[in-house]
Structure 1
Amino acid sequence: MSDEDVGPGCFINGRLTPGNGAVLDVRSPWNGELVDRISTASATDVARAVSAAEEAFLDWREAPTPRRVAVLTALAALLDDHAQELAVLQVRENGKALNVRNAQRYGDHLRYSAHLLQMPSGYVVEPPAGSMRVHTERVPIGVVACLTPWNSPINLLLWKLGPAIAMANTVVVKPSEVTPLSTLRLAELATKAGLPPGVLNVVSGDAAVGRALVEHPSVARIAFTGSSATGEQVAVAAARGLRPVSLELGGKSANVVFGDADLEQAVRGAANGAFGAAGQACMAGSRILVERSVYDEVLHGLVAAADAIRIGNPLDPSVDMGPIASAAQLQKIETMVDEAVAGGACVAAGGRREYVAELPEGFFYRPTVLTDVTPDSRIFHEEVFGPVVCVIPFESEDEAVRLANSTRYGLAAGVWTTDRRRSDRVASRLIAGTVWVNTYRKLAHNVPFGGMGMSGLGRENGPGCLDEFSEQKAVWVDLGSDVRDVSGLRRTGRAIHHE
């Protein structure tokens, strides 16, 4: 690909358009292949995108419900038709193994938003006076900024895009600089589905582009998925304009295995929760807490599972795990594991880069199991975002809950036990937005997802997802004929005449 072959890195007002920022090379993390070269956005391009969204909002907010439902449904059908194309494109960008994609479910997020849009959203309030009628309704907010990460760019965008445009907002998306191509392609499909120009816009680029977007005064709401550190910065920017914000951030989730659990299932579920998507998931079960009586058995099973994982070309259906998404992320994983070992942790499996002969430039890392990790160590508390798990013993239920809750995060947790009363008891005590019992890593478009503490604010998916992208309005209607006089007009004999 020559220097002249630079593709458009923005989608503004219904069409792909070159950005005025730096040129970005998008490369596959397993072989270094140049997938595409695009021109990213400048601050001026961000302003153009927001302006296009503002202009489109004037008409889109008036679009009747049947029209919005029709567009959402049409886009869902196009996503079904192009599911494999989008999945492969994401694999080429971020290296996540194709066999863990659930591309066939992309359209379900939009169909669910369309379904909710047709349900009653307001309610009638019993007024304090008999001559009054009061009802509520949901109204759009305006221009929504959506900032998405590189690990699941399409799914995590659809969690925001579906309810945002369903509620007649307009959207400007800033995808990760690692995975801009799949988002640009989705925007093309949205226009093909009948979404009016300006309702969905995309500005690609680095953190400066994201900063320009969230700080733009015409952005009325912000939806962000990413690291907790960046989430804090986004929250500060949102606070300056008193704008609502939802943040789906990091996690250091615990999988708690009790001695009475089905250990075969627990080991399989814990391994999938830790190593699925190469551990590059906010909900990864990166701390496995095991009752002392079964610790050795569970540890042996986890080591065997880690050693059996096949690493290689993520487009190969026989491969279980692809590469880490970038050189910088691979370096972070290495640093955190090396630091943990220097602090006394032991490597029971992995703990090193993986060299794949046919893919020498790939960013591969072995699934890693660490033992002898203390609760005061960095790797116990901080998100690695890679295929690294700490296995820690506990003696009692109270200790298990204490260890599970001993982080600043609260995104997800798992409980493995055959005791129903214990599972209910522990699940209620865990500080997490999602708790799985005898399973892990299950998500659905109709189930709320989000975190507590440093794992974020708000919820995506579920019956309340439209509320996140709308405001509630109360409407009072006086059905009587006599307005209470508090102005002195009647006393002075003055009358109001209409020309």
Structure 2
Amino acid sequence: MTHEEWLALAKALEFPSAHHIDGGDVTGTGTFQVTSPRDGQVLADVADAQQSEVDAAVAAARWAFDEGPWPRLAPAERGQVLLRIADLLEQHRETLALTISLEMGKPISEAYGIELRATITTFRWYGQLADKLNDFVPQTAPDSLALVTREPAGVVGAVVPWNFPLTLASWKIAPALAAGCTVVLKPSEFSPLSALAVGKLATEAGLPPGVLNVVAGDGPTAGRAIGLHPDVDVLTFTGSGAVGREFLRYSADSNLKRVWLELGGKSPNIILPDAPDLGRAAATAAWGIFFNQGEMCTAPSRLLVHSSVADQVTEAVVQRARALRVGDPLDPVTEMGALVNPSHVERVLGYVRSGHDEGARLRTGGFRLGNSVQPTVFDQVTPDMRIAREEIFGPVLSIMTFDTVEEAVSLANATEYGLAAGLWTADLSTAHTVSRALRAGTVWVNCYEEGDLTVPFGGMKQSGNGRDKSLHALEKYTELKTTWIQL
């Protein structure tokens, strides 16, 4: 679609405004405004979940799990419903992509081509997987039989952020539903519209009432209510470390629900002088930090370059940053859209000022452009600077140099985070030894942000625990039960 066609569709688009609870709309007692970072316009007045709405959503999920058909369906039947959800997402792909672009500022080409593709693929993958999971029978003595079965864990509370509102939600919803769990989803208050739409589509696809409930609201009220609720059995969260700690406290103060956390990162991207293609390495480094406006937990925000090629790589990254098209999220040629809200713009600019004040050299960018920040590159960065230590969650790259592989590994691991890392080398032995030495849940070698649903995603250290994607995601939403039969 052209820019003009997206603009016309945006004018005609109607947004959901009610919670989706027990298969229907619930308006509640209060509302909050969802505004577009694209132009500051109010998109919708959305129901604001209080304790009573969260209680209703959890009660619906509890009944659907304890008494309803969903956990008792044949796995193949659950899989068919997930496949129908994927089909409906495909049918509504344009309006869902447009909703995401309007509510959080992502370029429409990425919302349609990347976010919706990933969301649809996730539901299809777990739909196809649902009836292919096996229990097992251990070898015991001849006079006994042991059965180990994997059973759904119960009611899942899923709290997700605004940067990938449907992709990250699908990584939690789809495996939980495939396992036979029921779900209460709370999207970010900055991007609830697409999630509310998916709740309606899931019911339309044949998901029984109460199996997927979506409540809109903020973290201190709705998120806290989910975290403390005694009828929530599992909590899965993607977001900041500060909020992740709160969810651990909520678990301790309530029913000791299992809490699975993905809490961000400060990912290193190491370029060695024997990289197969230094130009591609530099282009990928720039793409990785500026993709999605830098609002990425895996963003390679620390570029570690061998001193012998540092000038060459830095210049290539700077030139790519200057060439990026920053503009209207609804223009298909836009490569970087708007940051999620004005306060986040100010937060990112605060880090730019910090980098300058602490002695880093600003090579390009560093200023506000509408409701975004121009792609920003610092070099002469040292490990003690804030821009080298703290997650900025914006389009700001810090370049550091090293002289030995051992120094590169030490710099890469000198962070409280451990979500992802990149490594560029043509030497197979170096690729193996360095990737093993890096304390990160994912290491990309001679690429970045690659993968599919077959591989797990998650972090080490203060980047969290548990894994999204792959078969391993089901470990978060199932319990192992042993049945011992004396023959």
Scaled by the length of structure 1, what TM-score is found?
Answer: 0.91
Contact preservation (8 Å) 1:6, 1:38: no
Looking at structure 2, the residues matched to 34 and 238 of structure 1 have their Cα atoms a distance apart, in angstroms, of 35
2:37 alignment partner, one of 2, 5, 29: 29
- Provide the secondary structure at the position in 2 that maps to 1:145: strand
Alignment partner, residue 241 of structure 2: 228
- Provide the secondary structure at the position in 2 that maps to 1:293: coil
1:7: how far off?
6.2
Alignment partner, residue 102 of structure 2: 92
1:138: how far off?
0.7
2:17 counterpart of 1:17 = no
Alignment partner, residue 449 of structure 2: 441
What residue identity is the alignment partner of 2:271?
V
Alignment partner, residue 250 of structure 2: 237
Alignment partner, residue 493 of structure 1: none
2:7 counterpart of 1:8 = no
1:237: how far off?
1.5
1:277: how far off?
0.5
Alignment partner, residue 456 of structure 1: 464
Looking at structure 2, the residues matched to 28 and 174 of structure 1 have their Cα atoms a distance apart, in angstroms, of 19
What residue identity is the alignment partner of 1:163?
P
What residue identity is the alignment partner of 1:88?
L
2:296 counterpart of 1:288 = no
1:373: how far off?
1.6
1:315: how far off?
1.2
Alignment partner, residue 494 of structure 1: none
What residue identity is the alignment partner of 2:78?
R
Contact preservation (8 Å) 2:236, 2:260: yes
- Provide the secondary structure at the position in 1 that maps to 2:151: strand
- Provide the secondary structure at the position in 2 that maps to 1:239: helix
2:388 counterpart of 1:376 = no
Matches within 5 A, 1:54-133: 54-57=62-65, 58-59=67-68, 60-101=70-111, 102=114, 103-127=116-140, 129-133=141-145
Supply the RMSD in Å over aligned alpha carbons. Answer: 1.4
- Specify the structure having the higher radius of gyration (Cα): 1
- Provide the secondary structure at the position in 1 that maps to 2:199: helix
1:259 alignment partner, one of 246, 265, 273: 273
- Provide the secondary structure at the position in 1 that maps to 2:303: strand
Matches within 5 A, 1:71-220: 71-101=81-111, 102=114, 103-127=116-140, 129-207=141-219, 208-220=221-233
Contact preservation (8 Å) 1:8, 1:19: no
1:71: how far off?
0.7
Looking at structure 2, the residues matched to 218 and 40 of structure 1 have their Cα atoms a distance apart, in angstroms, of 21
1:210-269 CA distance string (max 9 Å, x none): 011111111000000111111111122123322212111110000000111111110011
Looking at structure 2, the residues matched to 415 and 19 of structure 1 have their Cα atoms a distance apart, in angstroms, of 50
1:411: how far off?
0.3
Structure 1 stretches lacking a partner, 5+ long? 355-361, 480-499
Contact preservation (8 Å) 1:7, 1:37: no
- Provide the secondary structure at the position in 2 that maps to 1:234: helix
Structure 2 stretches lacking a partner, 5+ long? 1-13
2:436 counterpart of 1:424 = no
Scaled by the length of structure 2, what TM-score is found?
Answer: 0.94
Alignment partner, residue 261 of structure 2: 247
Contact preservation (8 Å) 2:83, 2:128: no
1:120: how far off?
3.6
Contact preservation (8 Å) 1:445, 1:462: yes
2:293 counterpart of 1:278 = yes
1:418: how far off?
1.2
What residue identity is the alignment partner of 1:257?
I
Deviates more, 1:282-291 or 1:9-18: 9-18
Identity %: 41
Looking at structure 2, the residues matched to 322 and 231 of structure 1 have their Cα atoms a distance apart, in angstroms, of 28
